[in-house]
Structure 1
Amino acid sequence: MTIEQRIGPISLPDNRTQRLLTALLEGSGVTLNGDAPWDPQVYHPDFCSRILRQGSLGLGESYMDGWWECESLDELACRLLQHGLGERARPTSDRIMYRLQAGLLNLQSRARAYMVGEAHYDLGNDLFERMLDPTMCYSCGYWREATTLHEAQLAKLELACRKLELRPGMHVLDIGCGWGSFAEYAARHHEVTVTGITISREQAELARQRCAGLPVDIRLMDYRELDGRFDRIVSIGMFEHVGHRNYATYFQTVEKLLADTGLFLLHTIGSNSSEITVDPWIDRYIFPNGVLPSARYIADASEGLLLLEDWHNFGPDYDKTLMAWRNNFDARWHEIADRYSKRIERMFRYYLSVCAGAFRARDIQLWQVVFSRGRTVRYDAPR
């Protein structure tokens, strides 16, 4: 059954799979074919068996296939996670296989570093330009005093600059510069020189255009290929792609590149658990080989190399950011709909919505962590 063929929710068969799934949902406030905005409306008779068999992968793929619909995907995800169905939605065999694979292989090696760029960030600048705000920040905004997405992203960029204590003439390294949002902002408003690196060809091309005329050098390269010394280093929304086997190398690289009196700001999504795991749908369709770091992994990998000066969690702001992106996506999708498939449209709507729900449920966090080499006289982090 395709999206075009569906005519309305079906009556679910009263069988074992339907009863098992209903039992799992009991207490979550989610009802199959219910009346609440977060209740899934089912269009395919094999929906229940597919979810029980494939877990979160089947849930996401069946949505992409048009097997079900939901008015409030974000709230559905929030309620499922708050009910404890996050880890249970990943089949045991898949979890074991991933742990074995992650233990035996470096899934984020230099040879594999460009995979996420090709699979996600290179999908199309036209799509991201419509989804994001004019800064082209593809990371959490700072909503403390902001009322719009653009205000929140500008506030995030300024907050990072203030935490780094930027001064005119400094040389700043931006690890994972994306479309050049921080590089452009810091060079324009704080009169610094920026070297930005990315593993996405599409990002590098647009970042160079956006930073034309500014003292900004955008390079297509992996962080492990860098040399030099920098007064300040920033990494916004990139550490999620580093992988636990490379955390030590990452912090060793930062320590090598950072000036004696320098500061390093790490902006990353974080996991509440140090267990090495990944959502199979996100891994397959959005961020291949990505893995969220825990606080312990960050602390352990940086210990003996850098001094942790400040740790700031504003994870709930990512819920607002993702919902703002989804609103932009919905409002402007028609402008590019002829260039992408219906499946891509549903994939992005599902991705943005369920991630917003995950932050709302406090299942994942957003951290800004500031490090020094321990040679600054005093550090007072702004908020």
Structure 2
Amino acid sequence: MSQTADADTSQQTDRNNHPNPPATLSALAVEAGIKFNGSAPWDIQVHDERVYDRILLDGSLGFGESYMDGLWDCDQLDVLFCRLLNAEIDQKIDKWRRLRLLGEILRHRLFNLQSRRRAFQVGEQHYDTGNDVFERMLDPSMSYSCGYWKDATDLTQAQSDKLDLVCRKLELKPGERMLEIGSGWGSLAHFAAKHYGVEVVGITVSKEQMQLAEARCEGLPVTFKLMDYRDVDGQYDKLASVGMFEHVGPKNYRTYFDIAKRVLKKDGLFLLHTIGAPFSTPKTDPWIDKYIFPNGKLPSAREITSSIEHRFVIEDWHNFGRDYDRTLMAWWANFDRAWPELSAKYGQRFYRMWRYYLLQSAGFFRSGQGQLWQIVLAHRQRSTPYRSVR
């Protein structure tokens, strides 16, 4: 099903009728092996020349919004973004936008964008988008994080293998009590309770997620709570956090690990599953921040390790970021296939936004800029030797 050229027909004039893009943009595109109005499937087909000014003025935000507005198209957005990121075009454009970029950096440095007051915003804007979207896009377990494709041939198996990998890394045993920080639609809680015999307490900031998770885990020793991680108490044998740390923010990392240290029993294990950035940066992508994950921030390895010091020891660090590319392409195929059922409710601008989000993200991981880490942590005083698994 192709929906890449269905903007207003008044905008879709012959590509050769448009003025050439500014020389600076053309030169950067050439660096990435991309052309404006070229013939390759990853080339940018311009329908409205205003797109050039929006890129120059607003960078990635203007690029994404102009796509949502139908000002340009591309048959293979994932390849386009992989090429742009491999050539570091995003960073080069930022150099021209120093005044605006400074404002974005100051916003992150001066304000705690992941404060307790803001904690529920991402749940309301993104995770509460609509369970119908996620039910059609995700696998049957409703896992909204990277699958593990080492031995898998389809999305369902990749997600089942990921859930089992988490449980094996945590050395789960029947009767143990596990806390899941960021429980989503209950995929890990359901899997761990059913296959490993543990009791699970899951916390989330999304009402929609919690409602569906409770229904899916009915009859299992699983409890969900609508709460911020800063309100967690009690003692747990094991801790897991899968795809939630990206919403914590650098100003809160030490608090996050202090809480995890306090509630984890001395001989327990903590598995942190998070997307990682290849370097520390004081800002986040403004389009993703505005439309997908408000107030999110990808951690770097240095930011994580400096926050762990004097709190935990690292027992294992596993990177399988390339698997996220394959996961995202499977999500896109599911969403695109289901679009006829969703279109009347969500509309064409949502379709373009969601397509841009999934395929941009696939290109991010394919380029190697995006990484996916599973980190196993323990108290320094833990008496049981740890043996990593893959």
TM-score range, shorter chain: over 0.9
Structure 1 residue aligned with 2:384:
377
Q: Does 1:76 align with 2:80?
A: yes
Distance 1:205 1:178, change over 3 A: same
Displacement of 1:107 after TM fit?
0.6
Q: Does 1:10 align with 2:15?
A: yes
> Counterparts in 2 of 1:235-250, with a 5 A limit?
235-250=241-256
> Is residue 278–residue 370 contact of structure 2 (8 Å, CA) maintained in 1?
yes
Q: Does 1:56 align with 2:60?
A: yes
The Cα offsets for residues 92-134 of structure 1, whole Å up to 9 and x where unpaired, read as 2332112212222111000000010111000100001111110
State the distance in 2 between where 1:87 and 1:20 align. Answer: 14
Which of 121, 126, 146 is the equivalent residue of 2:152? 146
Name the amino acid aligned to 1:19: A
State the distance in 2 between where 1:218 and 1:345 align. Answer: 31
The Cα offsets for residues 203-249 of structure 1, whole Å up to 9 and x where unpaired, read as 01110011111000011000000110000000000000000000000
Name the amino acid aligned to 1:376: S
> Is residue 143–residue 152 contact of structure 1 (8 Å, CA) maintained in 2?
yes
Name the amino acid aligned to 1:363: Q
TM-score (normalizing by structure 1): 0.97
> Counterparts in 2 of 1:1-383, with a 5 A limit?
3-5=7-9, 6-11=11-16, 13-14=18-19, 17-90=21-94, 91-374=97-380, 375-383=382-390
Secondary structure of 1:278's match?
A: coil
> Is residue 12–residue 18 contact of structure 1 (8 Å, CA) maintained in 2?
no
Distance 1:119 1:368, change over 3 A: same
> Is residue 9–residue 41 contact of structure 1 (8 Å, CA) maintained in 2?
no
Displacement of 1:8 after TM fit?
4.9
Name the amino acid aligned to 2:257: F
> Is residue 130–residue 333 contact of structure 1 (8 Å, CA) maintained in 2?
no
State the distance in 2 between where 1:21 and 1:102 align. Answer: 28
State the distance in 2 between where 1:195 and 1:309 align. Answer: 24
State the distance in 2 between where 1:92 and 1:163 align. Answer: 44
Displacement of 1:14 after TM fit?
4.0
The Cα offsets for residues 288-323 of structure 1, whole Å up to 9 and x where unpaired, read as 000000101111111111111000000000000001
Name the amino acid aligned to 2:389: P
> Is residue 9–residue 42 contact of structure 1 (8 Å, CA) maintained in 2?
no
State the distance in 1 between where 2:311 and 2:222 align. Answer: 28
Secondary structure of 1:165's match?
A: coil
State the distance in 2 between where 1:184 and 1:225 align. Answer: 23
Displacement of 1:20 after TM fit?
2.1
> Is residue 183–residue 189 contact of structure 2 (8 Å, CA) maintained in 1?
yes
Structure 2 gap ranges (5+): 1-5
The Cα offsets for residues 1-48 of structure 1, whole Å up to 9 and x where unpaired, read as x91324454226446x53221111123110111111101111112222
Name the amino acid aligned to 2:335: F
List structure 1 segments (4+ residues) > 3 angstroms apart after TM superposition.
6-9, 12-15
State the distance in 2 between where 1:29 and 1:9 align. Answer: 22
> Is residue 267–residue 384 contact of structure 2 (8 Å, CA) maintained in 1?
no
Name the amino acid aligned to 1:198: T
TM-score (normalizing by structure 2): 0.96
Instruction: Say what the alpha-carbon RMSD is for the aligned residues.
Output: 1.4
